[in-house]
Structure 1
Amino acid sequence: MKYLNKIEEIIIVVGLFMATSLLFINIVLRYGFASNTTWAEEFIRYVMIWITFIGGSVCFRKGLHVGVDFLVDLLKGRAKKGLHLFVNVASMIFMVFLIKYSLDLVVFTMQTGQITPSLQIPLYIVYLAIPIGSTLSFIHLILQTTKMIRNKEDSSKAETI
């Protein structure tokens, strides 16, 4: 799992670096030389999509997924752990549906042969971010839930970034 965690973080760091650098270069070209690259905005948009879905899986790994702290803070002991388990199971169910339907989207896009307007790359490469990010999120949710059930993790504390 350590390798998977590192790969996720490397993808996010490299993606952010590439998007930021390209955005800076494109701004300099646009305002400094009255010229810009036609493909830069599209590339940045697709990199941000990948960062979002891979970053979502990192949030699940660190226990930083969506939650209502007000309700969680009111509960103690078993009720709090039960709520965390419920949220994790509901999230896993959602991820299963997201994986299934996003794979359908990827297959459909592959069959139609759609390509992106500026970069001219297959559109399914962009859509692959959804099932990959969802699968990683599902894996992290399973591991987190297993730890919670075995009482190896304090369910009231999330790991900090």
Structure 2
Amino acid sequence: MRPSRSITHRLLTLLDRIIGKAEMYVLGWGIIIMALNTIANVFGRYLFSQSIYFTEELNEFLIVIITFMGLGYVTRKGRHIRMSALYDVLPARARKVLMILIAAVTAVAMLALAWYAFEYVAKIARRGRVTPALQFPLYLTYIWVIVGFAVTGIQYLLTVFKNLDLSDPDVYISFTTVDEYEDPEIAEVMHLYNQDHPADSDAGQSPDKSQ
């Protein structure tokens, strides 16, 4: 690996780690706060006959955060749903090229959605709307939509970069995740098949992939 490429790879690895830490922190605390808020509301309702007036509103806000930050996290872990019947029958090099194309197109789509979301949030901010219960600026709720789409787009761009090294036989479905079988039984069957049919080892993987 050339020095300039090595430096770029280290910088992108650092970026991926920073994003990953931020995603885990936001998602973890979002789920914890939602659980505590819901439990407190149940106790208040049944023990003191008094619900927390902002519980529903706060949970809706947290659902937005968890959903769109979770989109980036799932992409980083390579856990998104894929229709891979045609992809699986291609040779390894062709799968790598196709993954670059898929990730690049998806990245453009995600960043475009982030831009449209930004325009929508900016319009809400100009109108000065607030939430009914907490009187919280409404646009701050939807900022997480922008962040989620933008982070997901960045994750797909990192996937593109990771697959640009065509000398690497592995195909990456994210910056850190190799495209492989997670079901040990399927993995063992494919390993035995490749041993018996070495000429077909690059022909692809079974469409029964667990992703």
TM-score, normalised by the number of residues in structure 2: 0.69
Q: Tell me how far apart the structure 2 counterparts of residues 125 and 159 of structure 1 sit (CA, whole Å).
A: 40
Task: Say which structure, 1 or 2, has more relative contact order (CA 8 Å, 6+ apart).
Answer: 1
**8 Å contact from structure 1 (residues 29, 35) kept in 2:** yes
1:125 lines up with 2:140 in the alignment: yes
Aligned in 2, Cα 1:158/1:99: closer, same or farther, shift over 3 Å?
farther
**RMSD, matched Cα:** 2.0
Distance apart, 1:147 and its partner CA? 0.3
CA offsets per residue over residues 102-132 of structure 1, 9 Å max, x none? 0101110110001111111111101101111
**8 Å contact from structure 2 (residues 92, 171) kept in 1:** no
Give the percent of matched residue pairs that are identical in Structure 1 and Structure 2: 26
Alignment of 1:21-32 (within 5 A): 21-32=36-47
**Aligned length in residues:** 160
Aligned in 2, Cα 1:71/1:21: closer, same or farther, shift over 3 Å?
farther
Helix, strand or coil: the match of 1:127? helix
Of 155, 179, 186, 1:157 maps to 179
Larger proportion of helix: 1
Identify unmatched segments of 5+ residues in structure 1. Answer: none
**Higher mean Cα deviation, 48-57 or 73-82?**
73-82
User: Which amino acid is 2:119 matched to?
Assistant: D
Query: Based on CA coordinates, which of the two structures has the bigger radius of gyration?
Result: 2
Q: Tell me how far apart the structure 2 counterparts of residues 65 and 88 of structure 1 sit (CA, whole Å).
A: 12
**8 Å contact from structure 2 (residues 44, 51) kept in 1:** yes
Of 136, 141, 146, 2:151 maps to 136
1:65 lines up with 2:80 in the alignment: yes
Which residue of the partner structure matches residue 25 of structure 2? 10
